[in-house]
Amino acid sequence: MSPATHLLAAGVLAGFSRLDHRGRVAVMIAGVIPDIDGLGVVPELFTRHSAHPLLWFSEFHHQLHTLLFAIIVTLVAVAFCGERLKTALFVLASFHLHLLCDLIGARGPDGDSWPIPYFAPFTQAHAWTWSGQWPLNGWQNFAITGLLLVATFWLAVRNGNSVVELFSTRADERFVGTLRGRLRSA
C-alpha cells in the first residue's frame, strides 16, 4: 500500500497502544520503515536510460520486508523506549501490519504481486503471496485509507495526540486543538 496508508495504519495502532510519546513514535516508524528498501527507486529512475542502469528498486524492493529486519527494528525500539515488553509487541505488530497490508493490496501496474521474502536473506523460499491481492490503486485501498482517517480523527480527539506527533509535537497539539474545537462548535 502507499506510504500514507501505512503511516495512518501505524498511527492508529499507536493510538490504541496507549504507550508514551516515544513508544508511539517507535510504533509509527516500525509501520513505515520496511519501505526504505524502496528508496532505490531514485537512483533507478535517474540511471534507467544510462549504459549501466542501477536496478536497485527492481532488485531490492521488499528485501527489508523480512522477519530479520522486524527483529532488528524491535530491538532498537526497545533500547530507546520504556515499557519494553509492550513496546516490543506493538512495534512487532506494526511492522507485520505493514507486511499484511502489502500482501493484500499492493499489486503493481504490471501485475507483479511483489512477493514478501519473509525469511530473506537466509532463504527466498516461503515468500508471502496471496492470489486475491488487489492493485495498489484499487478502490479497496482508498476505502481503507478513508476508514483509517476517520479512526485517526477519533483517536486524536480521544487521546489528545495523533500521527502528526511523528513530525512535530507542537503541530500535533495544534491539530488536536483544532479538531476538538471544531467538534465543540458542531
Q: Which is nearer to Zn ion, 34 or 117 (CB)?
A: 34
Residue 179 CA: distances (Å) to CA of 161, 170, 184 = 11, 14, 9
Minimum CB distance to Zn ion, residue 141 (Å):
13
Q: What angle (nearest 5°) sits at the alpha carbon of residue 93, between those of residues 78 and 148? A: 120
Gap between the Cα atoms of 134 and 109, Å rounded: 11
Helix (H) or strand (E) holding 89: helix 84-105
Residues in touch with Zn ion (CB under 5 A): 34-35, 102
- If we measure between CA atoms, which residue out of 99, 124, 94 comes closest to residue 37? 99
Q: Report the residue number, 12 or 81, with the smaller CB distance to Zn ion.
A: 12
- Tell me whether residue 102 or residue 165 sits nearer to Zn ion (CB atom): 102
Q: What is the closest distance, in whole angstroms, from the C-beta atom of residue 185 to Zn ion in the complex?
A: 39
Q: Least distance in Å: CB of 102 to Zn ion?
A: 4
- Pick between residue 36 and residue 71 the one whose CB is nearest to Zn ion: 36
Q: Shortest gap between Cβ of 64 and Zn ion (angstroms)?
A: 9
What is the rounded end-to-end Cα distance, in angstroms, of the chain?
Answer: 34
Cell triple for 141: 485501498
What cell was used for 100? 499484511
Q: Which is nearer to Zn ion, 35 or 172 (CB)?
A: 35
- Minimum distance of Zn ion from residue 178's CB (angstroms): 31
Residue positions counted in the chain: 186
